[in-house]
Amino acid sequence: MTAENQRENVRIACEQIAKVAPGNELVIAHGNGPQVGLLALQGNAFDAANPYPLDVLGAETEGMIGYMIEQELGNLLPFEVPFATILTQVEVDSADPAFRKPTKPIGPVYAKEEAERLAAEKGWNIAPDGDKFRRVVASPRPQRIFEIRPIKWLLEKGSVVICAGGGGIPTMYDGNKLHGVEAVIDKDLCSSLLAEQLNADLLVIATDVDATYIDWGKPTQKSIAEAHPDELDKLGFAAGSMGPKVQAACEFARNTGSTAVIGSLENIEAIVQGKSGTRISLDDSAIRYR
């Protein structure tokens, strides 16, 4: 929630990414949940203004985080390497079932009476969060990345591209007019779609654990080294934690025939070398554990 902490995390990632940059085309996507939450809290503190809509907050965070990634990675790579951060609009479907049952918490917590008042005033959906309440919004599936062509053009010119931050800026058409949507797109599913549309050789989903585990937190826990998507589907990972990452990795592997890896932010070099993380591909019909 601080600029210093955010920059330190970016630096950890960039130190690893810089090691695999030579000889590779790089596209970097990122999350933005804490940053959007912070902007929502800041906006909530200013009583004279209505909160900025989520699509605008998403655009703000894409610029903020992209700036830090460009600077930290640029300090590690040769001066000649160009960088570009792309504000990325992502289309969602108004008929997506997620809009009928919003589940993604966003913004500050409220007492019940305040939450109910805001819901009535602003048309928000609210849900319990501990002994308080929070606003919840839909998390629809990404359908189309509007800026995919300029992303490809930049890659062809040797640029490192930062895009699709936070799952992209959710947008939809009203007739022939495109507009923002009060929703949050899952960043892992959007990254999977992005990697698929770019014909990527490898999708790395970097997180805070070194692999995907079964029986997580139990004495019987084991890390998965390699797996076929069909086998991972049978394990039923939690929707609130590893589930979206596994789903995104499986979809990429199935749709492209290429490999996706889930692993630690600090192990990106080893992941690219095939020495770390959970590798998900169509090459093996079984699961291999470490």
Q: What is the pLDDT of residue 123?
A: 86
pLDDT beyond 90 at 18: yes
34-38, 99-103, 114-118, 224-228: which range is least confident on average? 34-38
Question: Can you tell me the mean pLDDT for 261-269?
Answer: 94
Gap between the Cα atoms of 141 and 170, Å rounded: 10
Gap between the Cα atoms of 238 and 247, Å rounded: 11
pLDDT digits (tens, 9 = 90+) for 162-172: 999 999 999 99
C-alpha distances in Å from residue 166, one per residue of 139, 197, 206, 217 = 12, 18, 14, 28
Q: What is the pLDDT of residue 159?
A: 97
Q: What is the mean pLDDT of the chain?
A: 92
pLDDT digits (tens, 9 = 90+) for 34-88: 888 788 777 767 765 677 889 999 999 999 999 999 999 999 999 999 999 999 9
- Beta carbons within 8 Å of 76's beta carbon, 6+ residues apart: 14, 15, 18
Six-digit token string for 20: 């695999």
Prediction pTM value: 0.91
Highest mean pLDDT among 77-86, 112-121, 125-134, 230-239: 77-86
- Region of residue 35 (left: phi > 0; alpha: psi -120 to 50; beta: else): alpha
Gap between the Cα atoms of 167 and 183, Å rounded: 10
Q: What is the pLDDT of residue 59?
A: 94
Question: Can you tell me the mean pLDDT for 148-153?
Answer: 98
Highest mean pLDDT among 13-27, 114-128, 238-252: 13-27
Q: What is the pLDDT of residue 186?
A: 94
Tell me the percentage of the chain whose pLDDT exceeds 90: 76
Q: What is the pLDDT of residue 25?
A: 96
> Strand order of the sheet with strand 132-137?
104-110, 132-137, 125-129
Six-digit token string for 219: 């004495």
Gap between the Cα atoms of 175 and 13, Å rounded: 41
Residues in a beta bridge with 179: 172
Place of tokens 């289309």: 91
C-alpha distances in Å from residue 236, one per residue of 232, 239, 243, 247 = 7, 9, 8, 10
pLDDT beyond 90 at 205: yes
- Region of residue 236 (left: phi > 0; alpha: psi -120 to 50; beta: else): left
Pair type for strands 160-162 and 144-145: unpaired
> Strand order of the sheet with strand 169-174?
144-145, 89-91, 169-174, 177-180
Q: What is the pLDDT of residue 106?
A: 82
Place of tokens 């917590």: 109
With helix as H, strand as E and coil as C, how does the chain read?
CCHHHHHHHHHHHHHHHHHHCCCCCCEECCCCHHHHHHHHHHHHCCCCCCCCCHHHHHHHHHHHHHHHHHHHHHCCCCCCCCEEECCCEEECCCCCHHHHCCCEEEEEEECHHHHHHHHHHHCCEEEEECCEEEEEEECCCCCEECCHHHHHHHHHCCCEEECCHHHCEEEEEECCEEEECCECCCHHHHHHHHHHHCCCCEEEEEECCCCEEECCCCCCCEEEEEECHHHHHCCCCCCCCCHHHHHHHHHHHHHHCCEEEEEEHHHHHHHHCCCCCEEECCCCCCEEEC
Question: Can you tell me the mean pLDDT for 146-158?
Answer: 97
Q: What is the pLDDT of residue 160?
A: 98
